[in-house]
């Protein structure tokens, strides 16, 4: 009854999802996945429950921001703040906060209990995002705050800005932009198909039809169309 309508709401929202610019979450990700998103290649549909989990992330952010805004030792300088406009990439950090001495970019991540328990270091994909926030906001320190979605426990990791790290990520995105403009499909990531990104990739079937290395998008498109036809 209502369940089907709620599912439909989420599934309808993911239609027409051609990507037109880079998001901060693309930093360090498989370039081939992002290429396929820009070219609006048909992808496996996400389930409504997965899409609802993304909304749950917003709820976790509110849960953390509420005490931060009330604690007198913490000054919230800005929350939900967009990176300064520039051509390559867009993104929004959760908050910039200060303890009265130092400013930090805060990034809040909700994760499941098993991953949380084993988390001894921040995840690389989260550091990638944070490095770009630190770069664009010119803030030298950041905090990755993980929330256990099952128990609401917290873990935090301090991350220092590393200009070499951020510049490398931006160079990779620039390189990918050139490939998108020139219709060159990037190579698969080296540890395909065992990499965690491949396991959750919505393009894994299409990717397995393409060559391992770079290839021309127009030629590959004909290959897909002849298979579909």
- Which strand (E) or helix (H) includes residue 51? helix 48-70
C-beta of 201: minimal distance to ligand SF4 in Å?
3
Q: Which residue from 225, 222, 184 is spatially nearest to 32, judged by alpha carbons?
A: 184
CA distance 25 to 111: 16
CA distance 21 to 38: 8
Q: Which residue number, 103 or 195, has a Cβ lying nearer to ligand SF4?
A: 195
Q: Tell whether residue 25 is a contact of ligand SF4 (CB under 6 A).
A: no
Say if residue 204 is exposed, middle or buried (CB neighbours under 10 Å; 0-12, 13-18, 19+): middle
For residues 29-68, which are near ligand SF4 according to CB under 6 A? 30, 32-33
C-beta of 92: minimal distance to ligand SF4 in Å?
24
Q: Tell whether residue 169 is a contact of ligand SF4 (CB under 6 A).
A: no
Q: Tell whether residue 198 is a contact of ligand SF4 (CB under 6 A).
A: yes
Query: Sign of the CA dihedral 33, 38, 40, 46?
Result: positive
Of positions 75, 197, 215, 221, contacts ligand SF4 by CB under 6 A: 197
Contact (Cβ atoms closer than 8 angstroms) between residue 91 and residue 129: yes
Q: Tell whether residue 192 is a contact of ligand SF4 (CB under 6 A).
A: yes
Of positions 97, 201, 217, 220, contacts ligand SF4 by CB under 6 A: 201
- Which strand (E) or helix (H) includes residue 110? strand 103-111
C-beta of 106: minimal distance to ligand SF4 in Å?
29
Instruction: Give the binding site for ligand SF4 (CB under 6 A).
Output: 30, 32-33, 188-189, 192, 195, 197-198, 201, 203-204, 207
């Amino acid at each position: 009854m209502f369940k089907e309508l709620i599912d439909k709401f989420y599934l309808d929202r993911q239609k027409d999802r051609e990507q037109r610019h880079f998001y901060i979450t693309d930093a360090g990700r498989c370039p081939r996945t992002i290429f396929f998103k820009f070219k609006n290649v048909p992808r496996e549909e996400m389930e409504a429950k997965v899409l609802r989990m993304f909304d749950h992330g917003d709820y976790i952010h509110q849960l953390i921001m509420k005490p931060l805004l009330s604690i007198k030792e913490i000054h919230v300088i800005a929350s939900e703040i967009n990176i300064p406009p520039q051509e390559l990439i867009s993104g929004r950090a959760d908050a910039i906060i200060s303890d009265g001495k130092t400013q930090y970019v805060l990034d809040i991540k909700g994760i499941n209990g098993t991953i949380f328990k084993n988390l001894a270091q921040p995840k690389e994909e989260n550091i990638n995002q944070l490095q770009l926030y630190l770069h664009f906001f010119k803030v030298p320190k950041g905090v990755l705050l993980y929330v256990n979605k099952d128990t609401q426990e917290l873990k935090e990791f301090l991350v220092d800005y590393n200009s070499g790290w951020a510049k490398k990520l931006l160079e990779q995105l620039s390189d990918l932009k050139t490939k998108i403009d020139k219709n060159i499909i990037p190579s698969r990531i080296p540890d395909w198909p065992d990499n965690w990104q491949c396991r959750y990739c919505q393009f894994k079937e299409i990717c397995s039809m393409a060559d391992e290395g770079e290839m021309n998008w127009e030629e590959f498109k004909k290959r897909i169309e002849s298979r579909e036809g």
